[in-house]
Amino acid sequence: MTENPFFKPSTLVYELPPFAEIREEHYLPAFERGMAEQLAEIGEITTNQEPPTFENTLIALERSGALLRRVRVVFQNQSSADTTPGVDRVDAEISPLLAAHRDAIHLDAALFARVEELYARRAELGLDPESLRLLERWHTAFVRAGARLDADRQQRLRELNAELATASAVFRQNVAADSNARALVVDSAEELAGLSPDEIAAAAENGRALGHDGRYVLSLKNFSNQSELASLTDRSVRERLLAASLGRAVATNGPLAIRMSALRAERARLLGYDTHAAYVVADETAGSVDAVDALLARLVPPAVANARREAAELAKLAAADGIEEIAAHDWAYYSEQVRQSSYQVDAGALRPYFELERVLRDGVFFAANLAYGVTFTERTDLVAYHPDVRVFEVFEEDGRPLGLFLGDFHARASKRGGAWMDELVTQSGLLGQRPVVYNNLNVARPAPGEPVLLSWDEVRTLFHEFGHALHGLFSDVRYPYFAGTDVPRDFVEFPSQVNEMWMVRPEVLANYARHHVTGEPLPAELVERMAAAEGFGQGFRTVEYLAAALLDWAWHSVPEGQEVADAEEFEATALAKAGLSVAAIPPRYRTAYFSHIFSGGYSAGYYAYIWSEVLDAETVDWFERNGRSVRESGEVFRRELLSRGDSRDALESFRAVVGRDPQPGPLLARRGLA
Ligand SMILES: [Zn+2]
């Protein structure tokens, strides 16, 4: 066997991982050696006879674990974007070991003693602001991980973390397996009436790929509401599709969610907090449970009122089809009918104007160039982790190289649902590294020879994820701890949401939205009608989102020792109590497939999307009314916020751009909740 490619730093440009050499069997040995190496490095710090200094303790900590980082980022990406049964096995095996490894560092008494001593003397150390913050943040991380607990409590903490790590890997795999198992299979194209010929062809292709030759398969996407529900005319097919989606993983992940919520509650208690939500939010920009409660409570009543108004509109059209009461599987369909009849907008009619390649180059990249001056060159000579993946080199306005952007846009069976951004190489002055970031989307592959045409929502997702990518690419910090998107969770969606504004900026839209055959621009009045129609769906979208946010909040507000008997019952009660049980609007995710909170990093953090949207709406407002050119505004936003990562307080960066504390006004106006 050739040498494990993870053992040495990559020699490729930007330290791009050597994907051509990486095999599944390299992961486990690299994880094992990576953990051992880091523990040895920590051992050198703690056995150092010199008294602790910033250099021999904090800088040494920042430098430790290079091999582990190399394998972890590549593995994380593969397990999400291109998994295999072998990778799933490694994931299940390695997750508890990684949790134990983190504990071995955070609960290392000798290491914490050194950090604690430096922290006590921090005012005398003469540190620059970023270094001082590094010391403070590491100290907080140790304390929050249990460094101050006695040995018995630390032991229990280790057990809880290990069990949670395993549970979260199992949760993820259950969602993937059951989403595949419950894909909707129909026998005839007639049953798919309402879908476009392309979509029907894709469903047939999907059937072939999944072993249902001659039949049609609609794979399930992450959300409760499947996009096809908006156009399927056969009500019984809509009902089956939504039921398949809502029922995912209930049997396996329901009990697992109950167990995880109890484990997290116990851990929070050990660490001195009433609930997991209180523990999490203490280190976020929101700061307290009350602050989150207050924002959610303010949004729920007007959002529900909007949704009820929308429901009344839908009911009028549904009545004409003999439907007495709008069911959840009717909502998207009749919303689409309202859009067509009241706003003359047909979502399908927009697709020909949104060809992926054009949206990417003439929209997303074009906007980044307008605001920040950066340019993009495709590097077909560089090998990524899958043939679908595109690699672009990013350059500054003056031509200096900045980093790499990888785009992996298509759905495949080996990829989990949803869209996300992450980093393969983290920017850091200390380590001399420049960023390598990627975006993952789940755009359906068209029939062979057909162009890739996006929906309005997919265009938005492309701009959104690229906002995260820019946050990673523009990172300009010394310490890897602070790089790019490593900001508080209730702040991290803010830059990506801001980037969505370019999608509809007239100068950007005019540049990318062109008919893929005729080259004609998207008619301006169609865009206006689409924007008006967007307003119509706000009630639904806000309620669907708030229901998921409150569900997350409820699961993580369960105090230690409170038994939950049944996950579905818990869910129904929680939504009713919050005033959010609108029968025809299921939460964006139900408990059993709410991977964000049970296997992602968003436990007690799903509120973050609307929390960041307050900042986003304010910033979009600022871009429009600050009197500077787009390029100048972009420069301010980049310098004061995007480039800072977590190297200074997040809200301080916000204030440096907008000039004041965030106010909810622009968000309420945007969502029709004022
Ligand atoms: Zn995002």
Which uninterrupted H or E stretch holds 223?
none
Would the pLDDT of 353 be above 90?
Answer: yes
Would the pLDDT of 540 be above 70?
Answer: yes
In contact, 178 and 249? CB cutoff 8 Å: yes
Does residue 284 have an active-site annotation?
no
Cα of 419 from ligand 1 centre, angstroms: 8
Residue 356's pLDDT is 98
CA 104 – CA 91 distance, rounded (Å): 19
CA distances from 97 to 90, 159, 416 (A): 11, 11, 23
Cα of 496 from ligand 1 centre, angstroms: 6
Q: What average pLDDT does range 335-358 have in this prediction?
A: 88
Token duo for residue 304: 């529900």
Residue 541's pLDDT is 93
Residue 600's pLDDT is 84
- Count other C-beta atoms under 10 Å from residue 350's C-beta: 19
- Count other C-beta atoms under 10 Å from residue 621's C-beta: 18
Cα of 493 from ligand 1 centre, angstroms: 5
Cα of 608 from ligand 1 centre, angstroms: 10
Residue 524's pLDDT is 81
Task: Fill in the amino acid letter for 631.
Answer: R
Cα of 421 from ligand 1 centre, angstroms: 7
Would the pLDDT of 508 be above 90?
Answer: yes
- 3-class DSSP state of 190: helix
Which candidate in 228, 465, 493, 618 is catalytic? 465
Cα of 500 from ligand 1 centre, angstroms: 10
- Cα–Cα nearest to 374, from 336, 409, 345, 403: 403
Which protein residues have a CB closer than 5 Å to ligand 1 (ion)?
493, 496
**Rg for the chain (alpha carbons), in Å?**
25
Cα of 497 from ligand 1 centre, angstroms: 7
Cα of 495 from ligand 1 centre, angstroms: 9
Task: Fill in the amino acid letter for 653.
Answer: S
Which uninterrupted H or E stretch holds 378?
strand 375-378
Cα of 489 from ligand 1 centre, angstroms: 10
Residue 198's pLDDT is 83
pLDDT band at 1 (very low <50, low <70, confident <90, very high): low
Would the pLDDT of 255 be above 60?
Answer: yes
Q: What is the pLDDT of residues 596-652, one digit of tens each?
A: 999 988 999 999 999 999 999 999 999 999 999 999 999 999 999 999 999 999 999
Sign (positive or negative) of CA dihedral 336, 340, 345, 351: positive
Q: Which residues pair with 375 in a beta bridge?
A: 395
For 40-53, letters b (16+ CB in 10 Å) and e give ebbeebeeeeeebe
Cα of 468 from ligand 1 centre, angstroms: 7
Write phi, then psi, for 227 (nearest 5 degrees).
-60, -30
Residue 581's pLDDT is 78
In contact, 395 and 29? CB cutoff 8 Å: no
Cα of 197 from ligand 1 centre, angstroms: 31
Residue 663's pLDDT is 87
Would the pLDDT of 35 be above 80?
Answer: yes
In contact, 469 and 405? CB cutoff 8 Å: yes
15 torsion bin: left (phi>0), alpha (psi -120 to 50), beta (else) = left
Would the pLDDT of 548 be above 60?
Answer: yes
Residue 551's pLDDT is 97
Cα of 206 from ligand 1 centre, angstroms: 28
Q: What average pLDDT does range 204-225 have in this prediction?
A: 92
In contact, 436 and 406? CB cutoff 8 Å: yes
Global model pTM greater than 0.85: yes
Cα of 501 from ligand 1 centre, angstroms: 14
- Could you tell me what percent of the chain has a pLDDT over 90? 86
Q: What average pLDDT does range 159-174 have in this prediction?
A: 94
